[in-house]
């Protein structure tokens, strides 16, 4: 039964111009248009639009195309005011000019109140009537939000000859059957509530305005409220809500179905900008849109919600995306794949397709040794902490290979397919290793987020990655259930039926192994297929999902083999999470030491010695945080432990640069080992390498160049890696051409076969991270780290790009001054930050002392004098704190942004509180 649409007001009302003085709205863009309606009875309607076309004409600028903007409910064209302004400003600067036409839909904003219910199909026709009246031809890129998204897409499908692209903010074209209509809309549609909540009172409008993050300024709220003063002007809000097709019998359901189906054949470029905190159009609707437009570029703005246009710079993102389009011709196909290119003709006989997609590559698939050694009874891995009270778990290559193949087959039997995403919430150990290799063997994409992110960080990561399946131990499954993480749940252990139901468990690992007993594996994935989404630490912002192909992950393993000789016959102690899972890919026997992976400080020297002894390890890989506690607990070692550690030949510590004293102390525990500290990041796990001897040699050079920028020396390029520097300009931006000139400070840019493919659903971040070196087609990654190369080709890290300080005297990078301050005897750690506006920033040093301060305060005169004498740049103030704001003990991980805001508040007269 059709829902009766409420009339659009007590009486029709004429269109009018917005009042002057609305925040951010230039009245020069407002126009009233008389439009003839295509209803067969020659009805004329009056619309209000924002249109910068006349302004562009006055400037003598011919636009390259039109952006057609359609708002949803209960907003109006005010939503697009920033885009209109930014597009016009860009044209005045000589940049690419776009005409922006932002409509107020009939019965909405300042357009005419028609007094006639308008269905979705009618609104699509209304939009066409308007564009016909304006004689808009092409190319046109549509932009829609909320229910304006469906309307804009309806117009797009009806005008293929004019269409050059589509852009969307949070919207939907389909309601998944397994999910109910979002709660706010269900409430508004409730019997006896619709009219009261949407028309009689401004409740629906006010609820929508409250969805901004952060809260809207009062002046902006006034702008949104302006056309909806009084119930006579709010009828369109109620009509819009009533027009939501909640079932197949609804009058607008056929039109929405037509639009949803039409997107499957839409080949023009698409951009989806999304606020994941939206309680209405959540990520499930983003997934649906991506299923219909898999070629679309996507950027999820973490922390933003339904009113993304207010929460983030969507306008800058949209104009940047439009500027990247290869052409603006109407109907231009997407540039995201080769499937749209014309077939080439050639008389050359193509070679036969190799039996395996890996035959033409220089690396082996990750599961190569699991196949090659599947008949071996040699040890593959040892889990030193398999469970409370249990003995170490020893797994042979034969057992591991069988387990992987059976789990892989079982996963395939329950419907896990190539390209499906599987989130792994399993502690490091034998189970995680088997599950991970089973997933990659069938082409499922593993989603790995470090438990150290905490529940909030993990929730952001897992929800953002939108896994189809979740495999977890009890703690992970409990968190997934409580926090609403998506995906079919698979448990690593059996639970009582009631517990399994409570956790939402559908399958267990034991069931998968039984289902896959015949080991009937599906076809293997190829090197270009996506293998994993690995989340960054989140130490410099929300964790980002880093996407790797199978070939790129295999290249990581190959880089470790080429650099350190880790391979068949090697015993590897992996106390650093990114490398704990690479042992089987290298053919090395590996061991997970007894520790809590969420707390590196729990790893002790005795536990490392036990792990080394369990497999006669020759290589030890630890994080700097774990290493500090290993050194701190060295007095607990007994002679047998020392004997075991004497067998180590290579020792590695990575995750942050490691100080010479800490590395030297560790080297004394492993006297026969060559100590190294690799430089890398989640986006490229091994970029440079330096040994303990190299650190000492570099320190001598740095001491001779005391006036230089300083920094942490991380060594020379590893293997096939190339490192370049993009010089900083006077404003601290990395604008210089990427080169290898010595002693030039700039952003560190890297390239290697094992550099990430892209960021997951973060188009803006991915675009910013890519850097093309002239005449070079390799994949390059902008690291965000700042540093320089010295005359010997060694890389020195000077800090992070966002932490560069721009003073009136020039650009200052923080690590060098921090190191010099830490040379003051009573200073244990230091951070140098800028206070004020870039260009006139003042340097402030924030230090921890030994013995530690009991409360924050200004440094004593003697300490302040010593600190100032230690550095080559003027320091405006020295502040002492009990603890710098970080739980990762290295200056590169200190939250300098937080300290900068805190110091500015203190120097401005604020209270002396702990940052």
- The pTM of this model reads 0.90
Q: What pLDDT score does 40 carry?
A: 76
Backbone angles phi, psi at 723, to 5 degrees: -120, 130
Mean pLDDT (whole number) for 240-254: 88
Q: What pLDDT score does 1 carry?
A: 33
**CB–CB of 185/280 below 8 Å?**
yes
Higher local confidence (pLDDT), 105 or 115 = 105
Does residue 300 register a pLDDT over 70? Answer: yes
Mean pLDDT (whole number) for 303-308: 96
Backbone angles phi, psi at 654, to 5 degrees: -145, 165
Which stretches within 74-168 are classed as H helix?
81-92, 120-133, 147-158
Listing from the earlier edge strand, what are the strands of the sheet with 842-849? 827-835, 842-849, 877-880, 857-858
Mean pLDDT (whole number) for 372-390: 86
Q: Which of 79-93, 298-312, 685-699, 884-898 has the lowest mean pLDDT?
A: 884-898
* Residue pLDDT, tens place only, 653-702: 987 767 788 899 999 999 999 999 999 999 998 999 999 999 999 887 76
Closest-CA residue to 427 (of 393, 376, 466): 393
Q: In whole numbers, what is the pLDDT of the chain averaged over residues?
A: 89
Q: Which of 2-11, 181-190, 458-467, 571-580 has the lowest mean pLDDT?
A: 2-11
Q: What pLDDT score does 189 carry?
A: 67
Mean pLDDT (whole number) for 392-410: 96
Q: What's the rounded Cα separation, in Å, for the pair 124 and 126?
A: 5
Model confidence at 345, pLDDT cuts 50, 70, 90, reads: very low
Closest-CA residue to 493 (of 547, 542, 431, 554): 431
Tokens of 631: 């050194």
C-alpha separations of 462 from 411, 419, 447 in Å: 20, 16, 8
**CB–CB of 358/527 below 8 Å?**
yes
* Residue 203, helix vs strand vs coil: helix
Q: What pLDDT score does 531 carry?
A: 97
Based on the number of CB atoms within 10 Å of its own CB, is 1 exposed (0-12), middle (13-18) or buried (19 or more)?
exposed
Model confidence at 346, pLDDT cuts 50, 70, 90, reads: very low
Q: What pLDDT score does 2 carry?
A: 38
Domains and CATH numbers, the chain: 27-324 (3.40.50.1820), 368-549 (3.40.50.980), 699-755+762-801 (2.30.38.10), 804-907 (3.30.300.30)
Does residue 443 register a pLDDT over 70? Answer: yes
Model confidence at 5, pLDDT cuts 50, 70, 90, reads: very low
* Residue pLDDT, tens place only, 769-781: 987 777 677 889 9
* Residue pLDDT, tens place only, 549-564: 999 999 999 999 999 9
Q: What's the rounded Cα separation, in Å, for the pair 233 and 139?
A: 34
Q: What is the DSSP string of 361-419?
A: SSS--TTHHHHHTTT--SEEEEES-SSTTPPPEEEEHHHHHHHHHHHHHHHHHTT--TT
* Residue 284, helix vs strand vs coil: helix
Closest-CA residue to 580 (of 538, 521, 545, 626): 626
**CB–CB of 655/624 below 8 Å?**
yes
How remote is the C-alpha of 340 from its chain's centroid?
29
> For residue 219, how many other CB atoms are within 10 A of its CB?
11
Q: Which of 251-260, 525-534, 571-580 has the lowest mean pLDDT?
A: 571-580
Proportion of the chain above pLDDT 70, given as a percent: 90
* Residue pLDDT, tens place only, 870-897: 998 899 999 999 988 864 433 347 888 8
Angle between helices 120-133 and 253-262 (to 10 degrees): 60
In sequence order, the 6+-apart residues with CB closer than 8 A to the CB of 631 are 605, 662, 665, 666, 669
* Residue pLDDT, tens place only, 209-229: 999 999 999 999 999 999 999
Q: What pLDDT score does 175 carry?
A: 76
Q: What pLDDT score does 339 carry?
A: 31
Model confidence at 299, pLDDT cuts 50, 70, 90, reads: very high
Proportion of the chain above pLDDT 90, given as a percent: 71
Closest-CA residue to 52 (of 25, 14, 19): 25
Does residue 14 register a pLDDT over 70? Answer: yes
Tokens of 390: 């249990």
Mean pLDDT (whole number) for 735-759: 94
Q: What's the rounded Cα separation, in Å, for the pair 57 and 88?
A: 11
Q: What pLDDT score does 886 carry?
A: 65
**Pairing status of strand 469-472 against strand 619-622:** unpaired
Higher local confidence (pLDDT), 290 or 704 = 290
If you ran DSSP here, which 8-state letter would residue 820 be given?
H
Mean pLDDT (whole number) for 153-159: 98
């Amino acid at each position: 039964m059709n829902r009766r649409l409420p009339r659009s007001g007590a009486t029709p009302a004429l269109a009018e111009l917005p009042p002057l003085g609305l925040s951010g709205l230039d009245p020069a863009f407002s126009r009233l248009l008389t439009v003839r309606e295509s209803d067969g009875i020659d009805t004329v309607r009056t619309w209000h639009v924002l249109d910068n076309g006349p302004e562009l004409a006055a400037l003598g600028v011919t636009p390259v195309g039109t952006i057609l903007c359609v708002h949803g409910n209960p907003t109006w064209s005010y939503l697009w005011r920033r885009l209109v302004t930014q597009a016009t400003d860009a044209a005045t600067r000589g940049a690419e000019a776009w005409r922006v036409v932002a409509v107020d839909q009939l019965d909405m904003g300042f357009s005419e109140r028609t007094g006639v219910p308008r269905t979705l199909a009618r609104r699509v026709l209304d939009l066409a009537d308007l564009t016909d009246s304006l004689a808009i031809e092409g190319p046109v890129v549509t932009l829609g939000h909320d229910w304006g998204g469906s309307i804009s897409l309806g117009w797009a499908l009806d005008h293929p000859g004019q269409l050059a692209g589509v852009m969307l903010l949070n919207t939907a074209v389909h309601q998944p059957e397994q999910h109910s209509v979002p709660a706010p809309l269900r409430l508004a549609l409730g019997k006896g509530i619709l009219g009261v909540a949407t028309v009689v009172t401004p409740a629906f409008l006010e609820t929508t305005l409250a969805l901004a993050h952060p809260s809207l300024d009062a002046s902006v709220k006034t702008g949104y409220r302006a056309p909806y003063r009084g119930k006579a002007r709010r009828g369109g809000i109620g009509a819009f809500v009533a027009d939501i097709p909640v079932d197949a019998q609804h009058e607008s359901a056929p039109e929405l179905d037509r639009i949803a189906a039409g997107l499957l054949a839409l080949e023009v470029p698409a951009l989806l900008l999304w606020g994941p905190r939206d309680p209405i159009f959540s990520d499930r609707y983003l997934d649906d849109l991506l299923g219909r437009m898999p070629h679309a570029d996507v950027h999820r703005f973490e922390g933003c919600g339904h009113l993304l246009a207010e929460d983030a710079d969507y306008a800058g993102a949209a104009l940047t995306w439009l500027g990247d389009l290869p052409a603006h011709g109407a109907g231009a196909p997407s540039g995201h794949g080769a499937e749209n290119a014309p077939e080439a003709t050639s008389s050359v006989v193509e070679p036969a397709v190799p039996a395996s997609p890996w035959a033409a590559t220089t690396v082996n698939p990750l599961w190569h040794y699991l196949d090659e050694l599947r008949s071996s009874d040699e040890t593959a891995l040892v889990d030193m902490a398999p469970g409370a009270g249990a003995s170490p778990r020893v797994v042979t290559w034969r057992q591991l290979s069988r387990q992987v193949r059976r789990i892989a087959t079982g996963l395939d039997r329950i419907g896990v397919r190539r390209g499906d995403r599987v989130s792994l919430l399993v502690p490091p150990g034998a189970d995680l290793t088997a599950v991970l290799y089973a997933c990659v063997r069938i082409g499922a994409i593993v989603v790995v987020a470090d438990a150290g992110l905490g529940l909030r960080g993990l929730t952001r990561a897992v929800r953002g990655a939108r896994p189809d399946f979740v495999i977890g131990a009890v703690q992970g499954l409990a968190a997934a259930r409580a926090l609403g993480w998506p995906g079919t749940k698979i448990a690593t252990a059996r639970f009582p039926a009631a517990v399994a139901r409570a956790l939402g468990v559908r399958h267990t690992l034991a069931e998968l192994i039984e289902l896959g007993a015949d080991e009937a594996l599906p076809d293997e994935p190829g090197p270009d297929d996506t293998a994993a989404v690995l989340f960054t630490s989140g130490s410099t912002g929300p964790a980002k999902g880093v996407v790797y192909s199978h070939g790129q992950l295999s290249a990581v393993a190959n880089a470790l083999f080429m650099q350190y000789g880790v391979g068949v016959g090697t015993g590897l102690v992996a106390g650093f999470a990114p490398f704990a899972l690479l042992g089987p890919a290298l053919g090395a026997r590996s061991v997970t030491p007894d520790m809590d992976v969420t707390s590196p400080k729990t790893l002790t020297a005795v536990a490392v010695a036990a792990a080394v002894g369990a497999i006669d390890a020759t290589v030890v890989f630890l994080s700097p945080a774990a290493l500090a506690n290993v050194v701190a607990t060295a007095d607990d070692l007994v002679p047998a432990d020392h004997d075991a550690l004497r067998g180590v030949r290579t020792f590695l510590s990575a995750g942050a640069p490691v100080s010479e004293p800490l590395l030297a102390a560790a080297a004394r525990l492993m006297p026969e080992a060559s100590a190294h500290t690799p430089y890398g990041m989640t986006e490229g796990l091994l970029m440079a390498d330096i040994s303990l001897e190299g650190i000492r040699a570099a320190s001598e050079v740095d001491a001779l160049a005391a006036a230089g920028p300083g920094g942490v020396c991380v060594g020379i390029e590893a293997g096939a890696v190339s490192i370049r520097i993009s010089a900083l300009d006077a404003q601290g931006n990395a604008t210089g051409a990427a080169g290898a000139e010595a002693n030039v400070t700039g952003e560190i840019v890297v390239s290697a076969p094992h550099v990430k493919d892209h960021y997951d659903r973060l188009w803006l971040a991915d675009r910013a991270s890519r850097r093309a070196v002239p005449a070079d087609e390799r994949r390059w990654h902008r690291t965000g780290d700042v540093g320089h190369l010295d005359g010997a080709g060694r890389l020195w890290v000077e800090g992070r790009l966002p932490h560069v300080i721009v003073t009136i005297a020039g650009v200052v990078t923080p690590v060098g001054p921090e190191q010099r301050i830490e040379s003051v005897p009573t200073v244990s750690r230091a951070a140098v930050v800028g206070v004020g506006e870039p260009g006139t920033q003042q340097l402030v040093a924030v230090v921890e002392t030994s013995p530690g301060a009991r409360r924050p305060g200004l440094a004593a005169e003697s300490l302040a004098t010593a600190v100032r004498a230690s550095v080559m740049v003027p320091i405006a103030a020295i502040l002492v704190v009990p603890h710098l704001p970080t739980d990762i003990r290295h200056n590169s991980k200190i939250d300098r942004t937080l300290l900068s805001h805190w110091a500015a508040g203190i120097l401005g007269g604020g209270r002396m509180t702990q940052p």
